[in-house]
Amino acid sequence: MILLFFPIFSHLQAQNGIIRGFVYEKETGEPVIYTNVYLYKTSYGAATDVNGYFAITKIPEGTYTLLVTYLGFDTLRMEVNVRENEIITKQLYLEKASYMLEQVQVSAEREEARTETRTSVVKITPKQIKQLPAIGGQPDLAQYLQVLPGVVFTGDQGGQLYIRGGSPIQNKVLLDGMIIYNPFHSIGLFSVFDTDILRNADVYTGGYDAEYGGRISSVMDITTRDGNKTRFSGKVGASTFGANVMIEGPIKKQKEGIGGSSSFILTAKNSYLEQSSKIFYEYIDEDGLPFNYTDIYGKISLLASNGSKVNFYGFSYNDQVNQYQAIADYHWESFGGGTNFLIIPGKTPVLIEGRLAYSQYKISLEEEVNPPRTSSINGFNMGFDFTYFIGKDEIKYGVEILGFTTDFVFSNSVGLEIQQKENTTEKSILKSLFSPLIKKGVF
């Protein structure tokens, strides 16, 4: 099907010119998302996506002034000459700036409502998370989600997310396109994600289209940022709950208009609540609170000169509850890794995205009077998405394949071990049409 559509899209290419490319922050090399890129005094323009990519198509031949405007940055102006059947690729860099202005209220909600159907969608950025009062001085996605309507955290061990009445297993969590089976710790106050590395998080509590499948309650699509492409930096933090550290920097520095670049980012979080609670939270339990966790995440990003890029990432999350109410030990561990890529073909207005990932999650309960019980799930997911730009419209289609294995082991009252193991494979094809007046998906 992909081989069939790709030549058709190439044939349908308009006889007008195309301007496409990426917008980056000059200071860090991080993509600038959801900013405006347009041709001055015309109706031709586009907004950048989560990768900082934009594409303006069906442009008549002529000379134009390309403008990029974003709050907190200097406006970028550039003269471009557009010819028929020509694709112009640009990498644009914005510099931070601050000016003293009188009060201005800016809202893109009205314009977005005219172009996209956003039923029950919440877009979350690290800036929004950090604005909320944080428990233990550590802002976290889990704490932000609890203030959203229809979201409840509860469960026997905490960290169970219920959205609009759906069970926790009906929530799909994606981290850079990789499926995460349990993103919250047992204490229920913290997620496995470090706020400092988040680029954005889209939380769908209903109305999501063919791009997402396999769940009926909600979808959390989380994207992490790349490491700093211009300089080395780091961050260390600590509170009564735990400590965290982050380090990032370039492997090959990014230079404006010259070649590609590469970078890395590494974060780690560790809880020492079991020890610190005996000092700071003795009024709750003089024996301390038995919650511990360790989270590690790393990512390497390789960026080509035309904006194409590939990411390699991996994680290890674990959670430990020792002697919960003096009757049981409860713990889980999760690890995985994968890659995703973004390709910009040279001759067609198409954006190609792909991903391949594997992750595993295992949970166990060890009681004093009963044999241990374990449950695990592991699997892979892979997919390719193609986005074709036609003026102000977009056509997106792709394929996805995922497989997973579930394994449940326990012993009954007479010591007989019982095991249930199942293998499942899912395949899906998606096709979506985006336009100023319509957005629909078929699954």
For residue range 214-255, list pLDDT tens digits in order. 788 888 999 999 999 989 999 998 888 888 999 999 999 888
Q: Which two tokens stand for residue 312?
A: 């390699």
Q: What does the block give as tokens for 34? A: 């959801």
List the end-to-end C-alpha distance of the chain, in Å, as a whole number.
15
Structure tokens at 340: 């995703």
Where does CATH 2.170.130.10 sit in the chain? 115-442
Return the minimum-mean-pLDDT range out of 69-78, 79-88, 272-281: 272-281
Q: For 280-416, where are the E strands, in sequence order?
A: 291-303, 309-324, 328-343, 350-367, 373-390, 393-411
CATH of segment(s) 115-442: 2.170.130.10
Task: Please classify residue 184 by burial: count the beta carbons closer than 10 Å to its beta carbon, then call 0-12 exposed, 13-18 middle and 19+ buried.
Answer: buried
pLDDT of residue 381: 93
For domain 2-106, give its CATH number from 2.60.40.720, 1.10.10.10, 3.40.50.620, 2.60.40.1120: 2.60.40.1120
pLDDT, tens digit (0-9, with 9 covering 90-100), for 138-197:
788 888 887 887 777 764 445 677 887 778 888 899 999 999 998 888 877 788 998 889
pLDDT at 368: 74
Please tell me the predicted confidence (pLDDT) of residue 156. 46
CATH 2.60.40.1120 placement within the chain? 2-106
Range in 21-35, 132-146, 324-338, 429-443 with the lowest mean pLDDT: 429-443
Higher pLDDT, 263 or 292: 263
pLDDT higher for 75 or 323? 75
